[in-house]
């Protein structure tokens, strides 16, 4: 009875977290010095150690598993994943920095012993390029951190006071984590936009040694750009800082991972947020199959969507938390994914080569038409034979890649994966299989686009079999209504129709002199051929962009397998 009359109080276990929070806040990271940031990272480790213990308490789990806390838990899990991703990428940056610094150190030592300026210049050039990329990556991560800090939902006044206390402590923990990691990333990016700017600044002002803040990376940049006399000392200072950052970032990542797993106890297993974004892109690409867009637009949009999909895979999902990467390894699909990615790369490259060959043959046909227009006699027989031979050879290659894409998709679809009832793993496997389906759909759509029409016949005689092949994907959930209209490169079809009329007219002419009507037909054929050339160039660009991101996705998979 007495306890009922007492006022509600905050969760008693938040005391340890409050003390750890105060300790982190007491460290002034705004100075940008490596010492203060190292101290803050060490304090963050201690903070998440307290959080881990706090989340294991039964009363805490009951509070956080209540229906009122579901929205907050979603917020915390998303924030935790972003923090882990940021910490993981930051750790990788430190490892790479360490490698570059050691490489420069080695060249400096060799130079002292037996010359070797060329090797030193190469090593320094590599370091300068890496620093430029590091700055870009750091700025990208800072942008990601801002999303965490600004995404909090307000607490309701009707919520339990214990829950409010827990939410407040957790949000402040995330806030200080963002602040510390942001300071670290700003340390990496430096105050100058790039090393060339720094070089100009130093040459204008000579050397300003009165800076209060000590940033070893910036000092090394200055030494590299201006004077290499004390380069060895600067390299040693940077190496010491990097050792500390590597150690604390590794420790912080482990603490974040453990805290994340503890939070997951209160919620059903959920997939990585990247899965949702990937599924949105998959849905968008699938929708093209039921659209009424013209062939060229559909191919362009399909390639654009597929490029976006593989960019999400390579930049988000495959480089996400170690937990997601482990789930991919445990799925039993890694070997198949690597095999499939190689096959699709071959199909994509083959499609690009086919587009290039068509463009080349069309350009040659343009030259023949221009020569005929200028000359006194008109004859396209030899040129048309060469064009048709090229198209026939191209169609054989396209047919081969059609079969390969079909077999590749079937290979992954029939694969057995190990996951049981694991929801996260099931979600990842489904994403991989859906990615294969839409990849097959888009690439075969491109190949159908390139393989039609079937030679120089009248428009009514064209056989649109390419679309019929793509229609077999209907069983996988891609609907293609109105497929009776056919699916081909309308520009190519129009050009070949015009040339056929031209050749027919040539046969009917008793004299080989170019008449006014033939001259008009030549001009019309030239216009159509330029449209085909533009369509093929557009297709080449789209396939080139897709090929690059598919390679990036494959490299990311190989990195997961190797680490």
225 and 362 housed in the same domain? no
223 and 281 housed in the same domain? no
Helix extents (H) in 509-563 = 516-562
Residue 430 C-beta-side C-alpha neighbours within 13 Å? 13
- Contact between residue 444 and residue 438 where contact means Cβ atoms under 8 Å apart: no
Q: What pLDDT, on a 0 to 100 scale, did the predictor assign at position 8?
A: 41
Q: Is the pLDDT of residue 198 over 70?
A: no
Q: What is the pLDDT of residues 25-59, one digit of tens each?
A: 888 777 778 888 889 999 999 888 888 888 778 77
Q: What is the pLDDT of residues 267-281, one digit of tens each?
A: 444 455 566 677 777
383 and 250 housed in the same domain? no
Inside any domain, residue 121: yes
475 and 546 housed in the same domain? yes
Q: Which residue has the higher pLDDT, 390 or 322?
A: 390
- Give the CA angle between residues 530, 302, 307 to the nearest 5°: 105
Tell me how far apart the alpha carbons of residues 233 and 208 are, in angstroms, rounded to a whole number: 18
293 and 217 housed in the same domain? no
Residues 6+ apart with CB under 8 A from 540: 352, 355, 356, 359
Q: What is the mean pLDDT of residues 206-211?
A: 43
Tell me how far apart the alpha carbons of residues 251 and 42 are, in angstroms, rounded to a whole number: 8
Give the percent of the chain with pLDDT over 90.
6
| Of the residues 225, 250, 267, the one at which a domain ends | 267
Inside any domain, residue 423: yes
Is residue 378 very low, low, confident or very high in pLDDT (cuts 50, 70, 90)?
A: low
Q: Which residue has the higher pLDDT, 529 or 470?
A: 529
Helix extents (H) in 265-380 = 273-287, 295-312, 322-330, 334-374
Is residue 307 very low, low, confident or very high in pLDDT (cuts 50, 70, 90)?
A: very high
Two tokens, residue 106: 């080695």
Inside any domain, residue 157: no
What does the DSSP 8-state code read for residue 158? T
What does the DSSP 8-state code read for residue 431? H
Q: Which of 326, 278, 321 is nearest to 81 (CA)?
A: 321
| Of the residues 267, 287, 305, the one at which a domain ends | 267
Find where tokens 């000590």 sit: 214
Is residue 478 very low, low, confident or very high in pLDDT (cuts 50, 70, 90)?
A: very low
Tell me how far apart the alpha carbons of residues 534 and 554 are, in angstroms, rounded to a whole number: 30
Helix/strand/coil (H/E/C) assignment for every residue in 461-525 = HCCCHHHHHHHHHHHHCCCCCCHHHCCCCHHHHHHHHHHHHHHHHHHHCCCCECCHHHHHHHHHH
Number of domains the chain contains: 2
Neighbours of 236 (CB within 10 A): 12
Q: Which residue has the higher pLDDT, 427 or 284?
A: 284
Q: Is the pLDDT of residue 479 over 50?
A: no
Question: What's the Cα-to-Cα distance from 93 to each of 30, 76, 324, 349, rounded to whole Å?
Answer: 21, 25, 20, 32
Q: Which residue has the higher pLDDT, 194 or 295?
A: 295
- Give the CA angle between residues 142, 18, 8 to the nearest 5°: 125
244 and 337 housed in the same domain? no
Q: Which of 398, 439, 447, 456 is nearest to 546 (CA)?
A: 439
| Of the residues 243, 267, 291, the one at which a domain ends | 267
Q: Which residue has the higher pLDDT, 14 or 356?
A: 356
N-terminal to C-terminal alpha carbon distance within the chain: 59
Q: What pLDDT, on a 0 to 100 scale, did the predictor assign at position 158?
A: 55
Number of residues assigned to the chain: 563
Neighbours of 546 (CB within 10 A): 28
Residue 517 pairs with which residues in a beta bridge? Answer: none
Is residue 353 very low, low, confident or very high in pLDDT (cuts 50, 70, 90)?
A: very high
Q: Is the pLDDT of residue 236 over 90?
A: no
Give the percent of the chain with pLDDT over 70.
67
Tell me how far apart the alpha carbons of residues 458 and 73 are, in angstroms, rounded to a whole number: 65
Q: What is the mean pLDDT of residues 382-396?
A: 84
Q: Is the pLDDT of residue 171 over 90?
A: no
Residue 239 domain boundaries: 8-151+173-267
Q: What pLDDT, on a 0 to 100 scale, did the predictor assign at position 520?
A: 80
- Kindly state the helix (H) or strand (E) to which residue 390 belongs, with its residue range: helix 381-413
257 and 283 housed in the same domain? no
16 and 139 housed in the same domain? yes
Inside any domain, residue 199: yes
Q: What pLDDT, on a 0 to 100 scale, did the predictor assign at position 2?
A: 41
Is residue 488 very low, low, confident or very high in pLDDT (cuts 50, 70, 90)?
A: low
Tell me how far apart the alpha carbons of residues 439 and 338 are, in angstroms, rounded to a whole number: 14
Q: What is the pLDDT of residues 545-558, one digit of tens each?
A: 999 999 988 888 88
355 and 229 housed in the same domain? no
- Contact between residue 216 and residue 34 where contact means Cβ atoms under 8 Å apart: yes
Q: What is the mean pLDDT of residues 201-214?
A: 45
Q: Is the pLDDT of residue 447 over 60?
A: yes
Determine if the peptide bond prior to 453 is cis (ω within 30°): yes
Q: Which residue has the higher pLDDT, 207 or 53?
A: 53
Q: What pLDDT, on a 0 to 100 scale, did the predictor assign at position 383?
A: 79
238 and 303 housed in the same domain? no
Contacts 24+ apart (CB under 8 A), 397-403: 397/350, 397/353, 397/354, 398/350, 398/351, 398/354, 398/447, 398/450, 398/451, 399/451, 400/350, 401/346, 401/347, 401/350, 401/351, 401/354, 401/443, 401/447, 402/444, 402/447, 402/448, 402/451, 402/469
Inside any domain, residue 168: no
- Contact between residue 187 and residue 32 where contact means Cβ atoms under 8 Å apart: yes
- Contact between residue 255 and residue 45 where contact means Cβ atoms under 8 Å apart: yes
Inside any domain, residue 68: yes
The helices-and-strands tally (H runs, E runs) of the chain is 19, 0
Tell me how far apart the alpha carbons of residues 464 and 451 are, in angstroms, rounded to a whole number: 9
Is pTM beyond 0.85? Reply is no
At residue 382, the 3 state secondary structure works out as helix
- Contact between residue 59 and residue 165 where contact means Cβ atoms under 8 Å apart: no
488 and 538 housed in the same domain? yes
What average pLDDT does the structure give for the chain?
A: 73
Q: What is the pLDDT of residues 69-94, one digit of tens each?
A: 667 777 787 788 788 888 888 888 88
Inside any domain, residue 164: no
Q: Is the pLDDT of residue 191 over 70?
A: no
334 and 389 housed in the same domain? yes
Query: Would you state the torsion angle of the CA atoms of residues 378, 383, 384, 386, taken in this order, to the nearest 10 degrees?
Result: 170
Least confidently predicted of 56-60, 226-230, 245-249, 349-353: 226-230
Tell me how far apart the alpha carbons of residues 471 and 479 are, in angstroms, rounded to a whole number: 8
Q: Is the pLDDT of residue 150 over 80?
A: no
Question: What's the Cα-to-Cα distance from 218 to each of 193, 205, 211, 237, 238, rounded to whole Å?
Answer: 11, 16, 11, 11, 10
Inside any domain, residue 158: no
Is residue 456 very low, low, confident or very high in pLDDT (cuts 50, 70, 90)?
A: very low
Residues 6+ apart with CB under 8 A from 6: none
């Amino acid at each position: 009875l007495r306890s009922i009359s007492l006022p509600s109080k905050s969760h008693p276990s938040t005391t340890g977290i409050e003390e750890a929070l105060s300790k982190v806040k007491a460290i002034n990271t705004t100075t940008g010095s490596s010492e203060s940031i190292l101290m803050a990272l060490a304090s963050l480790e201690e903070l998440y150690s307290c959080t881990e213990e706090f989340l294991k308490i039964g009363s805490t789990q009951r509070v956080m598993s209540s229906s009122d806390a579901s929205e907050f838990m979603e917020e915390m899990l998303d924030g935790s994943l972003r923090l882990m991703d940021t910490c993981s990428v930051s750790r990788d940056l430190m490892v790479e920095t360490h490698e570059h610094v050691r490489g420069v150190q080695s060249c400096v030592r060799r130079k002292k012993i037996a010359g070797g300026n060329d090797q030193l210049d190469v090593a320094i050039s590599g370091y300068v390029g890496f620093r430029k990329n590091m700055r870009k990556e750091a700025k990208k991560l800072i942008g990601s951190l801002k999303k965490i800090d600004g995404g909090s939902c307000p607490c309701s006044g009707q919520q339990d006071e214990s829950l409010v206390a827990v939410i407040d402590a957790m949000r402040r923990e995330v806030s200080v984590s963002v602040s510390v990691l942001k300071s670290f990333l700003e340390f990496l990016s430096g105050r100058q936009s790039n090393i060339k700017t720094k070089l100009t600044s130093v040459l204008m002002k000579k050397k300003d040694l009165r800076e209060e803040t000590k940033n070893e990376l910036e000092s090394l940049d200055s030494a590299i750009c201006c004077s290499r006399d004390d380069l060895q000392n600067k390299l040693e200072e940077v190496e010491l800082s990097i050792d500390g950052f590597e150690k604390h970032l590794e420790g912080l990542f482990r603490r974040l991972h453990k805290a994340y797993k503890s939070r997951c106890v209160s919620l059903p297993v959920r997939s990585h947020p990247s899965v949702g974004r990937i599924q949105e892109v998959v849905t968008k690409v699938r929708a093209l199959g039921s659209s009424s867009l013209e062939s060229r637009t559909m191919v362009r949009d399909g390639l654009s969507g597929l490029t976006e999909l593989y960019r999400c895979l390579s930049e988000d999902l495959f480089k996400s938390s170690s937990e997601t990467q482990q789930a991919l390894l445990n799925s039993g699909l890694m070997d198949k994914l690597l095999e499939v990615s190689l096959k699709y790369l071959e199909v994509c490259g083959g499609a690009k080569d086919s587009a290039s060959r068509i463009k080349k043959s069309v350009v040659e046909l343009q030259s023949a038409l221009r020569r005929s227009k200028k000359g006194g006699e008109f004859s396209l027989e030899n040129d048309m034979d060469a064009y048709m031979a090229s198209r026939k050879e191209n169609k054989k290659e396209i047919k081969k890649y059609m079969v390969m894409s079909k077999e590749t998709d079937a290979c992954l679809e029939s694969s057995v994966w190990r996951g049981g009832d694991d929801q996260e793993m099931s979600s990842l496997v489904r994403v991989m299989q859906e990615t294969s389906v839409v990849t097959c759909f888009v690439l075969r759509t491109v190949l159908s686009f390139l393989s039609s029409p079937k030679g120089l016949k009248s428009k009514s005689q064209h056989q649109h079999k390419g679309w019929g092949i793509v229609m077999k994907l209907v069983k996988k959930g891609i609907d293609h209504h109105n497929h009776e209209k056919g699916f081909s490169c309308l520009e190519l079809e129009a050009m070949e129709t015009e040339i056929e009329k031209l050749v027919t007219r040539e046969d009917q002419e008793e004299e080989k002199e170019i008449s006014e009507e033939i001259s008009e037909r030549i001009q019309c054929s030239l216009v159509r051929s330029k449209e085909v050339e533009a369509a093929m160039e557009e297709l080449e660009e789209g396939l080139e962009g897709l090929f690059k991101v598919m390679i990036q996705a494959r490299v990311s998979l190989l990195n997961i397998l190797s680490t």
